[in-house]
Structure 1
Amino acid sequence: MARDPSGGRTDHAIRPGQGPGTEAGAGERLQRLGPAAGSSGSDRRGSELRPLRPDHAPGRADHQHGPERHRSAVGFAEPARLPVPVMTDDPTDHVPLGPVPSSRGGERLLDLVKVQARLREPDGCPWDREQTHRTLARHLLEETHELLAAIDADDDGAVRDELGDLLLQVTFHAQIAADDGRWDIDDVADGLIRKLIHRHPHVFGDVDVAGSDEVLVNWEKLKAEEDGGRTGVDEGIPASLPALARAAKVQRRAAGWGFEWRSIPSAIGALREELDELEHATSTDGAEGEVGDVLFATVAVARKLGVDPESALRRTIAGFAGRYERFVVLAAERGVDVETAPEDELRALFREAR
């Protein structure tokens, strides 16, 4: 709960125990937004959460692992099921003791929930009250792309602002559901906490991993186990995802099921094979298929290198656009006709425009 400057406490928008299925319901309104929470960095409060095991207490670098080192299979064999933390009714049993790592202990997040609830009250904002999950969908997409643009531009201030806009979408959707008595922001957080603990057995359990690539493989395997086992490698992956991002996700899932190139040279070798087949394509339809194979193999190489292919391509596009502008300026300064100049001359000019 957020505290006002006088030391009192203000209520949450959704009180514990008043979620879906309770008599009060998630739609019970909070008190009017009071004074902002104190902003002093020394106003942190220690968490009442309990650690999973004593050796997982904060500050301990020598986490103990079980006698067996569990590693996901890399190859084509079906990997063994991962041992995962035993979940209790309260997932925070697995969270170490200690303050929230934030200048104000996360209090302003609670204030945000209160503001969002206030906007949706009968005498709140007419526009906010009219919104539904569906009407907000386009805003979620827009805010996501604006955040990606800020990240690509390395604009730290814009990243902070765009994260706020994206966070608004989360609290907005949660409040809509809370007003209908279905679920609330605490249910969203509870589900996320349980998911993070279950899919990080190398942190909250006894699984050992060799690196981040293995973490992602295990993540997909655990996700499949949660869903009762999938039959399709692309099942549940939105077709609307950008193609490179979707390819990477499909490949990660296949890797979680044991199908994965064992090394970077193996992945690059497969890419070379696809390029050779593209070179020998004899029709447009054949070339289209081979181009797809080349792109898919390129994604596999990117994954083995620890590179996100979607981000890499966005960065290359931005770099090309800037370089092309410099190329056009150079061509104009030297009187080069881009449409008629020899290709070698254009290539040399383009290299100079780096």
Structure 2
Amino acid sequence: MNPNNEKYAEALRRLLVIMNELRAKCPWDSKQTLDSLRHLTIEECYELSDAILEGDLEEIKKELGDVMLHIVFYSKIGAEKKAFDIADVMNGVCEKLIARHPHVFGDVTVKNEADVKRNWELLKLKEKGDNPSVLAGVPKSLPALLKALRIQEKAHAVGFDWQRREEVWEKVEEEIAEFKESMSREEAEQEFGDLLFSLVNYARFVDINPETALEKSNKKFIKRFNYIESATLGAGKTWQEISLAEMDAYWEEAKDVQDKSWTPSKK
């Protein structure tokens, strides 16, 4: 993207003009607040995430537009409150990027990506003033799996971490044993949480995003289960008529024949 290309500035101007018109003339848009938009923004981010996981570039473009609309919408409301506008938003993130990349815009030297991430977290702490909590920047509303990952990453940034992944796996095995030995539901719930936390930790050590990995497994299960549904309907049966053994057979068949081109039957 050439920043000197006028088409980018023109596209942003066009969106700002449309936003002003909507805010002034549309009954729905004119009533929206920061709070009322919040859950819609979260939904748009999840839709963008779905498009990314599907590798659908056209859908990614569409969903990025929806997210951009929300950024402009919040900025419009901020301008009405005389708190901030879209220029403040963009300049703010520019200043943040410059400050947090001293190895690009300053004289700091880094060896690798790990150094960059470590410096990023330490600079964030410095920005928060005297004696900030290392974990204070973890959003409270993050899904639990992602929150576990961010907690561990922030602890790692200040040196509180395992040294070898073999040690982390030993911890996983320890948590599995403790979960299996749980005597009550409350204890089992606690030990299961510890087990998940340790698995997230191991995933981090082997450079796997646990949220992405789990979502891919979710999608794989849905695709194979849809195959079972389609095969069941194709055999002229209902859920009440098909046996577990038949479902297992269809499941194994789905594993063998499914690929990206397969779609569920429209029957």
Query: If the TM-score is normalised by the length of the shorter chain, which range does it land in?
Result: 0.7 to 0.9
d(CA) in 2 for partners of 1:221, 1:144 = 27
SS of 2:7's equivalent in the other structure is coil
Aligned match of 2:48? 147
1:283 aligns with 2:184: yes
Give the structure 1 partner of residue 22 of structure 2.
Answer: 119
Secondary structure, aligned partner of 1:104: helix
| Aligned CA distance change for structure 1 residues 181 and 146 (closer, same or farther; 3 Å) | same
2:38 pairs with one of 121, 129, 137: 137
Alpha-carbon distance in structure 2 between the residues aligned to 1:279 and 1:230: 40
1:299 equivalent in structure 2: 200
**Which residue of structure 2 aligns with residue 80 of structure 1?**
none
Q: Which residue of 2 aligns with 1:110?
A: 13
Larger helix percent: 2
Q: Mark the CA change 1:347 to 1:298 in structure 2 (over 3 Å): closer, same or farther.
A: farther
Contact 1:330 1:353 in 2 (8 A): no
Residue 326 (structure 1) aligned with residue 231 (structure 2)? no
Residues 280-334 of structure 1: CA deviation (Å, up to 9, x unaligned): 2232222211111111111112222222211221111011111223345667869
Q: Is the 8 A contact 2:76 2:85 kept in 1?
A: yes
Aligned residue among 150, 170, 180 for 1:269: 170
Distance 2:22 2:250 in 1: 57
Amino acid at match of 2:220: G
Structure 1 partner of 2:119 = 218
Asked if structure 2 preserves the Cα contact closer than 8 Å seen for 1:271 and 1:294, the reply is yes
Q: What is the deviation of 1:349? A: 5.9
Q: Whose relative contact order is higher, 1 or 2, with alpha carbons under 8 Å and at least 6 apart?
A: 1
Give the Cα separation in 2 of the matches to 1:256 and 1:152: 28
Q: Would you say how many aligned residue pairs link Structure 1 and Structure 2? A: 250
Q: CA deviation at 1:179?
A: 1.9
Name the SS of the counterpart of 1:120 in structure 2: helix
TM-score normalised by length of structure 1:
0.63
CA gap of 1:348–1:208, structure 2 versus 1, over 3 A, is: farther
Among 151, 159, 170, the residue aligned to 2:71: 170
Give the secondary-structure state (helix, strand or coil) at the position aligned to 2:52: helix
* 1:213 positional shift: 3.6
Relative distance call for 1:320 and 1:129 in structure 2 (3 A) is same
CA displacement, residues 117-172 of structure 1 (integer Å, 9 cap, x when unaligned):
33334xx3333222221222222122112212222222211111111011111001
1:310 has 2:211 as partner = yes
1:305 is aligned with what amino acid?
V
| Post-superposition offset of 1:352 | 4.1
Which whole-Å CA distance do the structure 2 matches of 1:287 and 1:296 have between them?
14
Compared with structure 1, are the counterparts of its residues 174 and 293 closer, same or farther at alpha carbon in structure 2 (3 Å cutoff)? same
Instruction: Indicate conservation of the 8 Å contact 2:135/2:155, yes or no.
Output: no
Provide the alpha-carbon RMSD of the alignment: 2.8
SS in 2 for 1:136: helix
Q: Closer, same or farther in 2 for the Cα pair 1:228/1:281, shift >3 Å?
A: same
| SS of the residue 1:146 aligns to | helix
Deviations 1:5-59 (A, max 9, x none): xxxxxxxxxxxxxxxxxxxxxxxxxxxxxxxxxxxxxxx9xxxxxxxxxxxxxxx
